[in-house]
Amino acid sequence: MNISIKRTDFLNGILSVINASAVRNTLPILSNILLETDKKTLFLSCTDLEITIKSHISAEILSPGSITLPARRLLEIIRELPEKDISMSLNDNHVVTLMCDKSIFKINGLPKDEYPVFPTLKNDKGITLAQKVLKDMIRKTIFSVSSDETRYVLNGVLMFSDTEKSILRMVSTDGHRLSYIESPLDKKVTQEFNHIIPSKTLHELYKTLTEEGEVFIQLSENQIIFSTAQVVLISRLIEGQFPNCDQVIPKQGENFITCDTGKIMAGTRRVSLMASDKSNSVKYSFSQNKLLITSNTPEVGEAQEELEIKYSGESIITAYNAKYLLDILKNIGSAECLIELTSNLNPGVFKPVDSGFNYLCVIMPMRT
């Protein structure tokens, strides 16, 4: 293998895949990055066997070949090189020579034969949607994923499709709150989805998605594959039965309240400064066109803030974990939010006003 490549392109290519490399693993080669060539392209891949990320960049291929190199060591080297073209050559002993300006590095590699084999697309069935749509769907659900590893089915987001209506849905919950979003698709759904995607996968996918172009999603046995023009991400799925979200989401609210999203966020942040560190409980008192936000911690003190709202029903007093509620409000995505309540002990439903997405969040109240 003998290639010439621009330093910035090489650096960006490594950065796009390196988070999938294993930091600590019984298989040393999983901490390596796989480099392969085509006629005018350098392909880069990293995997920890849970997630695989593949990317490609343009390069001058003088002679083809493949090698795996220590991923983070290579990244450190490329970061420190000057902004000049890099030449990379491979000898018969799996040693790569990197030359850039007056710098020369010799790096011991391992052959491609020892690297895991990636699944390939067997057909063209799947889901196609805009990258910016999927990115927004991830952002609006990822924060509700549970970090409790004993409830492993909640450590990811359920993605499920409606082939007849061409709708993609995503839902997540940690037992205290739930986020649900659905989006109509411009193109027909040709593969049925009802699978749990690990949160780590979605965090990495979110970083690779842009505001332009499309992403193609496909299933391959127990794996899911996300493909864009630049990056392919392959991930294992979480096996198990996700809770029935229809049983958690209230069918119809009895009291409808409209609030300024920014104001209720700011008020909650300020009042939560006096909330208990353990419970982080903040009380919300809804009355005729008025919301009173309060917190009281005997050993610390108390705080309150009053806001104007649009509401004409009976008075309702409820309490929420301030952090959970702020996560919801931060991702509502509209200047005003609609709150649906039935009683002080039943879940509250928060929805955006004038949003193009069918999106809602459910939050469980706290007993005070």
- Asked if 326 contacts 143 with a C-beta cutoff of 8 angstroms, the reply is no
Give pLDDT tens digits for 63-88.
Answer: 999 999 999 999 999 999 999 999 99
CA triplet 259, 261, 263: central angle to 5 degrees?
A: 85
Out of 3.30.70.1900, 3.80.10.10, 3.10.150.10, 3.40.309.10, select the CATH number for domain 127-245: 3.10.150.10
Q: Which residues of the chain have pLDDT under 70?
A: 355-357, 368
Neighbours of 41 (CB within 10 A): 13
Place of tokens 């999603």: 217
**In degrees rounded to 5, what are phi and psi of residue 32?**
-95, 160
Q: Which residues partner with 35 through β-bridges?
A: 44, 67
Which CATH number does 2-114 carry? 3.10.150.10
Share of the chain above pLDDT 90, in %: 78
Which of these, 361, 364, 367, 304, lies nearest to 329 by C-alpha position?
Answer: 361
Average pLDDT, the chain: 92
| 2-114 and 127-245 share one fold | yes
Please tell me the predicted confidence (pLDDT) of residue 131. Answer: 96
Domain ranges (residues) in the chain: 2-114, 127-245, 250-363
CA distances from 151 to 173, 240, 241 (A): 11, 10, 11
Q: Which of 54, 107, 32 is nearest to 77 (CA)?
A: 107
pLDDT at 357: 62
Q: Return the pLDDT at 317.
A: 94
250-363 is a CATH 1.25.40.10 domain: no
